[in-house]
Structure 1
Amino acid sequence: MAVQLPALFIERMRGLLGTEFDAFMTAYDAVPHTGIRVNTLKISVEDFMRISPFELRPVPWCPSGFYVPYGSKPGLHPYYHAGLYYIQEPSAMAPVELLGIQPGDRVLDLCAAPGGKSTQIAAKLQGSGVLVTNDIHAERTKALAKNIELYGVRNAVVLNETPERIAEAFPHYFNKILIDAPCSGEGMFRKDEDMARQWETHSVEKCTVMQRDILSMASRLLAPDGVIVYSTCTFAPEENEEMIAEFLKVNDGFRVVSITDRPGFSPGRPEWIPSKKRYPDVEQLAGTGRLWPHRIEGEGHFAAVLHWEREPGQQNTSDQTLCVSERSVREEAGSHGRIKAERHKGGRKQAGDSRRSGRAGEVSTAAEVLASFAAGQLTLQLPGQTVAYGDRIYQAPLDPDRLNGLKVIRPGWFVGTVKNGRFNPSHPLATALHRNDSVRSIVLNGSSPESVRYLKGETLLIEEDRVQLAEGASPKGYALICIDGYASGWGKWQDGMLKNEYPAGWRWTSV
């Protein structure tokens, strides 16, 4: 067997699975499955299937998900750098599908890094509503923010906060909450052998403390008639069915919505809960779901859908607080200066419905230079409120006053910076645009070395007739660079030469 599994884990699974144990163990001899999920913010599933450089097989539980052959290396293609798909383990695509997200929803992804599920949520929102995506680990929010930006998300706020502080700022605000909970990771042993080696130190007991705290805060964040999806990538019933049983016991008005009719899911196992008599109506836990690696093409997952059926104004019987001290959580998460947004109303293209607060003149200048750039460069109305954080300009999807006192990584769509009264468009502004959103664009062939040269930051020679222009625009200036028509970054065109604006930290580094 390629994966060295902990002996205690094997012993427990033998006792739980009985006659299925041999099939379960045999699954560890198979190679992990590779999946990609089409980013429908940029391209439809149908259009991607027409241009896909890979052989695709549908993932049964995710309409935008596909298996690709093992060894395909989807990260080494220009389409990946254009944000057309996210590389994601197939089972990990399931929890967001259970949320039932609709455009206009207010969604919280509470344990979000590195951001795969957040980008999946954003694709379902299709630019409307709001996504607040959070991770408690400061270092991990770097990857989270980058993925939000690469995949063209316009309506997300990125936080680095404890669930408790978010609950203080957003009481009963979100109608959909995803908790992809920190867990012992048993379902990922085949995919990541480090998890198997760290299993005894990253114990089930430690994880249940964190999971209990996170769920208790989620009940304070959820709006009436809202839905929580709780998921783990572990098999331990203490982290799964028993965790949900505890939650239901102390939170009146919640019920489990059965997911056992969903493709790939096997019923939950309430009979595995020790001391079942402690919990009322324990049989409804059979409506939770498990993805087993010996039954599907994917790794091990658990998921539960919790619907709050209370009327507005009713309170939960439990007001639990974090068992982990706030001080220790903050030390683990790291420190960021707390920042207050400065806002301003105005600007052609209506770069926002914003109001002013903060240092006089600074915010006004930011809004004016953004509006001037938008008037000359863009063909769309920028959504949200224009907010200034120092020299960085964002379009915020919600009132920035809600973020006061929180550790904010991104208050919204980062559109550019202002320096010496001049607006410099950001790379995330480009990645969230469509080709016709810019008055000037240049299309590179995804199968040509030219596109890789652009992604490596090289200067390109581009003839004038390749610069596609809106009516009345001149070819000189910022051009939206598109790979096979899909926005990938900026360049500055002048006299047959394209000065590359692709940022150094994003560049293609493979040979």
Structure 2
Amino acid sequence: MTESDGIQGRYLPAEFVARMSSLLGEQYPAFIASYDKPRVYGLRINTLKCTTELFLKLTLLQLRSISWASSGFYYEEDSRPGKHLHYHTGLYYIQEPSAMAPVELLDVQPGERVLDLCAAPGGKSTQIATKLAGQGMLVTNDIHSDRVKALVKNIELSGVRNAVVLNEQPEKLKHNFAHFFDKILIDAPCSGEGMFRKEADMAKAWEPDWVERYAVMQRELLDQAASMLRSGGRMVYSTCTFSLEENEAMIAEFLDKHPEFMVVPVAAVDGLSQGYDTELSGQLNSFSDRAREAVKGTVRLWPHQLEGEGHFVAVLLHNGIASAAAQPEANLQSAAARPTMKPNKSARSLKGKHSPSLQSAGKQQSEVDLQLLYRFMTEHAPEVGISQVTLHGEHVYASPIGLPDLSGIRIIRPGWYIGTLKKQRFEPSHAMAMGLSKEDAVRTIELEATSAAAARYLRGETLEVAESAIQRRNHDIAFKGYCLVLIDGFPVGWGKWQDGILKNEYPPGWRWT
């Protein structure tokens, strides 16, 4: 490999450069010139916590709208939003602008059941969660155990309450989730050619055989996902690469194999380009006329035509004709028609103000222990509804209603992690705090983002807080106990107040340095 001509200080593999020149023709000079331009930066406002309008009034960041993402904005590199205290409240997610397009095209609606099949580190999962608006179910999965840690943290930081996090091979998932989902996102592993400007090391590591190696995985993922989509459901396949084999050719092959699917054409607006002209490539000659014509409805995001890195997106619709193996379509308007998780023999339902159904996975908890949970919720967040509790040992989760049996599946989070049952007490989790709003908590302490106290809290320090600074829902509530700590009105964690001292409950692994 050699450095290509005309690129200032950038290495691009010679094989890649030759292929792109052949593929793009007259557009190649503009494409290669884009590597001399600085990359752009984006963030997406987390509308689970804050409206776009409110955030724009609150933030000091200089932002420009991203035309294809409803809550996406460009920011200047020197703004460094990851260093701002608002980042720690989960008000936004830092995300490459082009990477926001696939979820926008998935068209998620509140109440749907959605799968993000290759989810880590969680950017697109948290974007899906904003579209669900707290309703329905998000199942988010990644096969890499090390990357799942980042996925979990981003789900919790964003305050997502209706997500299940799995760490499993898609081949295993398709048996538990046959024809289950309304929407599926496959942000497929790929050769990453679209990220060469953003990540120079990726260009240096790239090998020509990556294209076919990743194509094998992509082919399997599409087949596996197809079996988990309900009749009439919608699926988005995306990559951050340029090769025809991983993009248009992959979709054409899928369409010929799965005649029950069709491409939903995407309008070439906002800098998006029509799928590659298949008539110019002999690589697609082996596919049917239907498939070759259909892939023109896919879209490319080219770095020389818009402000973003390289992406490909295909929107696929199950045409409503069930295959022979398909199960009856679920009634999307009736929770009773959805599959329900089967409780094991040790599960019990308890009475009380907070008396959700109970699933137990691990050691059995006594009714007295569970009453500690219900008492905490009544005393600290009485308006927060929990329909179903799942126990894994002492860990307590609020699970979405309607999950199928997940026996044999590696479950990282079976729902919103709300805390642990200790011997004679319930301890709320940081994830619970991040999933609440100011209005949910009966006792809060407000800090300003510009204050030294806010920075000290995020560093894990104990704070001196006057009794008068504690906001209570009513005067009958004691000052002593758990307080939801807020920065500019948005939850950032727990503290335990007593006699003018706030014991900091901010977890060590999250602390600001």
The verdict on a shared fold, with TM-score over 0.5 as the criterion, is: yes
Task: Give the Cα–Cα distance (whole angstroms) in 1 for the partners of residues 47 and 127 of structure 2.
Answer: 9
Alignment partner, residue 408 of structure 2: 405
The one-letter amino acid of 2:18's match is: E
Residue 289 (str. 1) matches residue 279 (str. 2): no
Q: Which residue of 1 aligns with 2:77?
A: 70
- Aligned CA distance change for structure 1 residues 359 and 392 (closer, same or farther; 3 Å): closer
CA gap of 1:355–1:507, structure 2 versus 1, over 3 A, is closer
Compared with structure 1, are the counterparts of its residues 499 and 185 closer, same or farther at alpha carbon in structure 2 (3 Å cutoff)?
same
Q: Which residue of 1 aligns with 2:287?
A: 278
Partner in structure 1 of residue 470 of structure 2: 467
Alignment of 1:139-150 (within 5 A): 139-150=146-157
3-state SS of paired residue (2:492):
strand
User: Which region of structure 1 is more displaced relative to structure 2, 171-180 or 459-468?
Assistant: 459-468
Tell me the equivalent position of 1:448.
451
Instruction: Report what 2:48 is aligned to.
Output: 41
Q: Is the 8 A contact 2:483 2:497 kept in 1?
A: yes
Name which of 348, 351, 358 aligns with 1:354. Answer: 358
| 2:193 aligned with 1:186 | yes
For residue 99 of structure 1, what is the amino acid of its counterpart?
L
User: What is the match of residue 510 of structure 2?
Assistant: 506
Q: Alpha-carbon deviations, 1:462-487, whole Å to 9, x = none?
A: 11111000112111100000100001
The residue aligned with 2:329 is: none
1:310-459 equivalence runs, <5 A: 310-312=320-322, 314-315=324-325, 343-346=347-350, 348-354=352-358, 359-360=363-364, 362=365, 364-399=367-402, 402-459=405-462
Amino acid at match of 1:60: S
SS at 1:71 equivalent: helix
Give secondary structure in 1 for the equivalent of 2:172: helix
Q: In structure 1, give the amino acid aligned to 2:300.
A: R
TM superposition score normalised by structure 2: 0.91
| Deviation readout 1:265-307 (Å, 9 max, x if unpaired) | 1000123351424334111111000000001000000000000
Distance 1:314 1:503 in 2: 50
Residue 439 of structure 2 aligns to a residue in which SS? helix
1:250 aligns to 2:253 (yes or no) = no
Give the aligned residue type for 1:98: L
Q: Which deviations, in whole Å up to 9, do the C-alpha atoms of 1:405-449 show, x marking residues without a partner?
A: 100000000000111131000000000000111110011001112
Count how many residue pairs are aligned between Structure 1 and Structure 2.
486
Q: Who is 1:492 aligned against?
A: 496
Question: Which deviates further from its counterpart, 376-385 or 447-456?
Answer: 376-385
Output the amino acid matched with 1:276. N
Query: CA–CA distance in 1 between the matches of 2:390 and 2:282?
Result: 50
CA distance in 2, matches of 1:157, 1:496: 39
- Contact 2:176–2:404, Cα closer than 8 Å, also in 1: no
Residue 20 (structure 1) aligns with: 27
| CA drift at 1:353 | 2.7
Tell me which amino acid in the other structure corresponds to 1:477.
G
Which segments of 5 or more consecutive residues in structure 1 lack a partner in the other structure? Answer: 317-339
Secondary structure in 1 matching 2:70: strand
Q: Which amino acid aligns with 1:492?
A: K
Pick closer, same or farther for the CA change 1:414–1:363 going to 2, 3 Å.
farther
- The AA in structure 2 aligned to 1:384 is S
1:323-373 Cα offsets, whole Å, 9 max, x none, are: xxxxxxxxxxxxxxxxx897442354425233567655x153443221011
Letter in 1 for 2:442: V
Change (3 A) 1:422 1:261: same
Cα separation, 2, equivalents of 1:48 and 1:215: 37
Shift of 1:496: 1.4
CA deviation map 1:116-155 (0-9, x unaligned) = 0000000110111000000011111000011100100000
Report Cα offsets for 1:7-42 as digits up to 9, x if no partner: 100000001111111110111111111111000000
Residues 1:2 and 1:353: Cα distance change in structure 2 (over 3 Å):
farther
Q: What is the CA distance between 1:89 and its match in structure 2? A: 0.4
With over 3 angstroms needed to count, the CA separation of the structure-2 counterparts of 1:347 and 1:140, relative to structure 1, is farther
SS where residue 478 of structure 1 aligns?
strand
**Gap regions ≥5 residues in structure 2:** 1-7, 327-343
Contact persistence 1:38–1:64 (CA under 8 A):
yes
How many angstroms apart in 2 are the aligned matches of 1:368 and 1:452? 36
Partners of 1:403 and 1:454 lie apart in 2 by 39
C-alpha distance in structure 2 between counterparts of 1:341 and 1:273, whole Å: 60
Counterpart residue type for residue 137 of structure 1: H
CA distance, structure 1, for counterparts of residue 147 and residue 284 of structure 2: 37
Return closer, same or farther for 1:341/1:75 CA change in 2, 3 Å cut-off: farther
Partner of 1:300: 310
Q: What's the offset of the Cα at 1:253?
A: 1.6
Which whole-Å CA distance do the structure 1 matches of 2:116 and 2:314 have between them?
15
Q: CA deviation at 1:199?
A: 1.1
Whether the aligned pair in 2 keeps the contact of 1:349 and 1:381 (CA below 8 Å) is: no
Name the CA distance, whole Å, in 2 between partners of 1:185 and 1:367: 48
* Matched letter for residue 10 of structure 1: V
Matched, 1:87 2:87: no
Give the residue type in structure 2 aligned to 1:181: A
Query: Does the 8 Å CA contact 2:360/2:392 hold for their aligned counterparts?
Result: no
Cα 1:489–1:265, aligned 2, differ >3 Å: closer, same or farther? same
CA distance in 1, matches of 2:319, 2:301: 27
Aligned AA (1:478): Y
Aligned AA (1:403) = L
The SS at the match of 2:25 is helix
Is the contact made by 2:260 and 2:322 (CA closer than 8 Å) also made in structure 1?
no
Instruction: Report % sequence identity.
Output: 50
Q: What SS does structure 1 have at the residue aligned with 2:405?
A: helix
State the one-letter code of the partner of 2:489.
Answer: G
Rate the CA distance shift 1:88–1:33 in 2: closer, same or farther, 3 A. same
How far apart in 2 are the matches of 1:363 and 1:396? 20
The one-letter code sitting in structure 1 at the alignment partner of 2:467 is E
Cα drift, residue 58 of structure 1 = 0.2
Q: Tell me which amino acid in the other structure corresponds to 1:114.
A: P
